[in-house]
Structure 1
Amino acid sequence: LPALGQAVKPTTLDQRFLLCPYCQQHRAQVWGDGRGGRTCHCPECGPVSVAADDMAALALDEDWLRRKLRLALSIESRDGIDALGDGVWRLGDSRCSPVLLARDLIRLWREPALLDRVRVAGGAIRVITPKPRETRGAPFGPGVEWLALEDRFAFYGGGISFIAPTGEPPAPQASDPRTPVKGPFSADFRWVTLPEGPHGPIRLTEAQAAVFEALWSFKGEPRTADQIMRRAGLNSDKPIDVFKVKARDKGKPEAEGPLFAYRALVVVQGRQGLYSIRQAPPLRSAASQP
């Protein structure tokens, strides 16, 4: 849950039924116990007391998902999000190509007119959907690029990153140079944005950006300080050296912010002398139901 951050929000369940709190295997009907509490009648466990936490639930924040997908594809903010029908949205234009997000690939197969509504001359349509189990290869014809949500996007640092296929040129840089493009980092690693913290977008020095870029290039795999600093092109002994706050800069956000980001994002295995950047898993469970 701390990793998911703002991607999820509280939601309500059908108060009449819930998953058995004891075995977590059967949905059972909830009854009052006559003493102000509740109990469920599990077909396997029998009567089981129900606590308030047993009725709590979370759901994907769909507005959050749509906004973060726009950022990942460098869709200009002046383009609004248009609902084309139940479960289909036009997110805007990326590289002059319309981008659609749909809950279900089958919906677009059954209603190809939805694609015709956004089609532009000389430009392909990019379609984002969860990946059906039975679908292989390219499900659409020429002029439509399918981006499987689980394969082409990753959840990281409170945002979403686009995973470009091998050989595809990088997405154009967003108009705001601070915009997270590579996980929480801007395209040039000079800015880092964290979901938690008092600093807002944090500006990094060239050396600090080089350290984060080196760590990012190892894709979360632990590396020694020597490997990291050599990849960053720096002479310091350890990554932390370029983040230390001098006495005269104590309390200054421009100095404290990068150190805060380092502590939040870098995993240090002290005994082994290894460093890695925190890598969140691909956005599967949270984003597989847009």
Structure 2
Amino acid sequence: MATHDAWALVCRLFAGGTPILRAALSPRESAALPALGQAVKPTTLDQRFVLCPYCHQHRAQVWGGGRRGSSCQCPECGPVAVEADDMAALALDEEWLRRKLRLALSIESRDGIDALGDGVWRLGDSRCSPVLLARDLIRLWREPALLDRVRVAGGAIRVITPKPRETRGAPFGPGVEWLALEDRFAFYGGGISFIGMPGEPPAPQASDPRTPVKGPFSADFRWVTLPEGPHGPIRLTEAQAAVFDALWSFKGEPRTAEQIMRRAGLDSDKPIDVFKVKARDRGKPEAEGPLVAYRELVETRRREGLYWMPCAAAEVSALA
């Protein structure tokens, strides 16, 4: 049940769009946190208010902070001492969510992710159908122009949103397929899997997850195979895969380190930072292989601070 609770928490955080106090989590949600890994991250909220540490029912103003510590005045419980853990909060890494949903739907990374408005993103195309991710289904009802912006002739639109409380059946008309986030996707093995409807053909996938599908990369960018490399298929960390995924999405066009790392959803300053080999790992093929791949596949203009991946441009030309 931990994975089910973990996915329910992801959906709750995405629907809310704001961080929540750890103290506001249910016992099952707290138990599911370790399974989420990088999907959630610690953050801070307004330190002037806190959920009452005693009853967890009322939001109260925080007082003090000196040698005597802090406290809050709960309308039910009266004065209650406040510890640092009572103000700890966490937030969903929404870049992680968007990347994993793209992988679950086999969306080509070269399409990129486009923000269409507050809480609405175009994830790319799945089976020739544009895919929208929205925080609120009602927003799309009120602003149908958002659907018109991505509509293509002869193709349906796939819309992913959390489930509203009262919506049943198909909330949109013909030409729009609704995928409820809670029901049509699941948390699995550190990623997200898509749950197809009965009779729906599965998305095409390679029988071997290491098989190159996007240039030298596997479908999820976790493996790279160099044409003349001695390492064979090279396994990448999630951060390294995110960098290659970001570079691929720019279709071989030079981009700054800031643009690449922002699209990858990482805090490092430069792409090569996540490929550096620690002293204790020198000489180990599993540690040095990703760096070899980076140096062979990524071109740089250091003076201008630009990076690009020529094989991504070659793949685009081949598909044109």
TM-score for both structures, normalised by structure 1: 0.61
Q: Deviations over 1:132-182 (max 9, x none)?
A: 01100000111100000000000112111000011100012273574459x
Match of 2:100? Answer: 68
Task: Among all aligned residue pairs of Structure 1 and Structure 2, give the percentage whose two residues are the same amino acid.
Answer: 86
- Equivalenced residue count is 196
Cα distance between partner residues in 2 of 1:121 and 1:172: 23
Aligned residue runs from structure 1 range 120-199, under 5 A: 120-173=152-205, 175-176=213-214, 178-179=218-219
**What's 1:56 paired with?**
88
User: TM-score, normalised to structure 2's length?
Assistant: 0.56
Counterpart of 2:111, as a letter, is D
DSSP 3-state at the match of 1:118 = coil
- Contact 1:128–1:147 (CA<8 Å) still a contact in 2? yes
Is the 1:158–1:194 contact (alpha carbons within 8 Å) kept by the matching residues of 2?
no
Cα RMSD between the aligned structures?
3.0
- Aligned counterpart in structure 2 of residue 43 of structure 1, from 75, 80, 83: 75
User: Does structure 2 conserve the Cα–Cα contact (< 8 Å) formed by 1:157 and 1:195?
Assistant: no
Gaps of 5+ in 2: 1-32, 207-212, 223-232, 239-283, 287-320
The one of 68, 74, 81 aligned to 2:113: 81
More helix by share: 2
Partner of 1:4: 36
Structure 1: how far apart are the matches of 2:105 and 2:137? 20
SS at structure 1 position matched to 2:46: coil
Question: Which amino acid is 1:49 matched to?
Answer: A
SS in 2 for 1:168: coil
The residue number in structure 1 matching 2:127 is 95
- Whether contact under 8 Å (1:128, 1:146) holds in the other structure is yes
Partners of 2:181 and 2:237 in 1: how far apart? 22
Which residues of 2 match residues 213-232 of structure 1 at below 5 A?
Answer: none
State the 1:77 CA deviation: 0.8
Q: Partners of 2:121 and 2:82 in 1: how far apart?
A: 39
Matching residue within 105, 122, 129 for 2:137: 105
Give deviations 1:265-290, integer Å, cap 9, x for gaps: xxxxxxxxxxxxxxxxxxxxxxxxxx
Distance 1:195 1:36 in 2: 46
> How has the CA–CA distance of structure 1 residues 78 and 180 changed in structure 2, closer, same or farther, with 3 Å as cutoff?
closer
CA distance in 2, matches of 1:24, 1:194: 42
Separation in structure 2 between the aligned mates of residue 39 and residue 85 of structure 1, nearest angstrom: 40
Q: CA deviation at 1:252?
A: 8.9
After superposing on structure 2, the runs of 4+ consecutive aligned residues of structure 1 that deviate more than 6 Å are: 193-196
Greater relative CO, 1 or 2 (CA 8 Å, sep 6+)? 1
Deviation of 1:26 after TM superposition, in Å, equals: 1.4
What amino acid sits opposite 1:87 in the alignment?
G
Counterpart of 1:4 in 2: which secondary structure? Answer: helix
8 Å CA contact 1:152–1:163 kept in 2: the answer is: yes
Distance of 1:33 and 1:89 partners within structure 2 = 41
- Cα displacement (A) at 1:48: 1.4
| Counterpart Cα distance in 1 of 2:85 and 2:59 | 16
SS of residue in 2 equivalent to 1:108: helix
Per-residue deviation at 1:35? 2.2
